[in-house]
Structure 1
Amino acid sequence: MADSDGPSSPRLMLLQKELESGYPGALKNFWEEIAANGTPLIEPIDDDSEQSLVTFLWQAKDELPGISVVSLLTDQVVNKMTRMLETDLWYFTCQARSDLRLTYQLEPYRPDDEPVDGDDYAALIARFSKMKEDSFNPRTFVFEKDEEDPESFELVRSVIELPQAPAPVQPWIEQREGVPRGKVEQYRLRSEILNNQRRVWVYTPPDYASTRSEPYTLLVLFDGRAYVNHVPTPTILDNLIDAGLIQPVVAVFPDSLSSSIRLQELVLHPPFNEFLAKELIPWIQSNFHVTDNPQKMVIGGASAGGLAAAYAAMELPDIFGNVLSQSGAFRFGLPREEGHEWLTRQFAATEKLPLKFYLDAGSLETKSLRQIGDAPNLLESNHNFRKVLEEKGYDVHYHEFSGGHDYISWRGTLSDGLLYLLDSASQ
Structure 2
Amino acid sequence: MEYPLIEAIDDQYCTVTFLYHEGQSPVENIVLHGTGIGFEYMKNRMEKIADTNIWYKTYRLPNDIEFIYWMSISDRLDDDSVYRHNNFTLDTLNPKTFFMKDDPEKPVGKDFVSSYVRMPKNPNKEWTQKNHKVPEGDLEKVLFKSERLNNERRLWIYTPIGMKRDNCQVKKLLILNDGNTYVNWLSATKVLDHLIHAKKIEPVIVVFVSSTATRVDELTFNDEYNAFLTTELLPYIQTRHPADRTKNDTLLGGFSLGGLASAYACLKHPDVFGKCISQSGSFFWKDSTYKQDEWLLDQYEKHPPLAVEFYITYGILENTPIAKPTLIESNERMISILKAKNYKVTSEVFRSGHDYLNWGETFASAMIALIASDR
Q: TM-score range by the shorter chain?
A: over 0.9
Do residues 233 (structure 1) and 182 (structure 2) align? no
Check whether the contact 1:333–1:342 (CA below 8 A) recurs between aligned residues. yes
Structure 2 counterpart of 1:164: 121
Do residues 408 (structure 1) and 372 (structure 2) align? no
Deviation (angstroms), 1:395: 0.2
Structure 1 CA distance, aligned partners of 2:188 and 2:355? 15
1:33-79 deviation per Cα after TM superposition (whole angstroms, max 9, x unaligned): xxxx442211112xx22100111222333222222111233465431
Check whether the contact 1:176–1:239 (CA below 8 A) recurs between aligned residues. no
Give the 4+ runs in structure 1 shifted more than 6 A: none
Structure 2 counterpart of 1:63: 26
Check whether the contact 2:36–2:66 (CA below 8 A) recurs between aligned residues. no
Structure 1: gaps (5+ residues): 1-36, 117-122
Do residues 49 (structure 1) and 2 (structure 2) align? no
Structure 2 counterpart of 1:181: 136
Structure 2 counterpart of 1:107: 72
Do residues 40 (structure 1) and 33 (structure 2) align? no
Structure 2 CA distance, aligned partners of 1:241 and 1:285? 22
Structure 2 CA distance, aligned partners of 1:335 and 1:110? 34
Deviation (angstroms), 1:175: 4.6
Tell which deviates more after alignment, 142-151 or 345-354: 142-151
Structure 1 counterpart of 2:85: 128
Structure 2 CA distance, aligned partners of 1:333 and 1:383? 17
Partner-residue secondary structure (3-state), 1:95:
strand
1:355–1:44: structure 2 CA closer, same or farther, 3 Å change rule?
same
Check whether the contact 1:170–1:412 (CA below 8 A) recurs between aligned residues. yes
Under a length normalisation based on structure 2, what TM-score does the superposition of the two structures give? 0.92
Under a length normalisation based on structure 1, what TM-score does the superposition of the two structures give? 0.82
Structure 1 CA distance, aligned partners of 2:108 and 2:205? 30
Check whether the contact 1:69–1:104 (CA below 8 A) recurs between aligned residues. yes
Check whether the contact 1:215–1:291 (CA below 8 A) recurs between aligned residues. no
Number of equivalences: 371
Tell which deviates more after alignment, 145-154 or 266-275: 145-154
1:288–1:131: structure 2 CA closer, same or farther, 3 Å change rule?
farther
AA aligned to 2:209 is P
AA aligned to 1:278 is T
Do residues 138 (structure 1) and 95 (structure 2) align? yes
In proportion to residue count, which structure has more helix? 1
RMSD of aligned Cα (Å)? 2.0
Check whether the contact 2:156–2:209 (CA below 8 A) recurs between aligned residues. yes
Do residues 223 (structure 1) and 178 (structure 2) align? yes
AA aligned to 1:105 is W
Structure 2 counterpart of 1:381: 330
AA aligned to 2:326 is N
Structure 1 CA distance, aligned partners of 2:250 and 2:199? 19
Q: Determine which structure has more spread, i.e. the larger CA radius of gyration.
A: 1
After the TM superposition, which residues 25-424 of structure 1 pair with which residues of structure 2 at under 5 Å, given as runs?
Answer: 37-45=1-9, 48-61=10-23, 62-74=25-37, 77-78=40-41, 79-114=44-79, 124=82, 127-149=84-106, 151=108, 153-166=110-123, 169-209=124-164, 215-258=170-213, 261-289=214-242, 292-368=245-321, 370-371=322-323, 375-424=324-373
1:346–1:40: structure 2 CA closer, same or farther, 3 Å change rule?
same
Structure 2 CA distance, aligned partners of 1:404 and 1:360? 11
Deviation (angstroms), 1:336: 4.6
Check whether the contact 1:129–1:153 (CA below 8 A) recurs between aligned residues. no
Deviation (angstroms), 1:227: 0.4
Structure 2 CA distance, aligned partners of 1:422 and 1:155? 32
Check whether the contact 1:174–1:235 (CA below 8 A) recurs between aligned residues. no
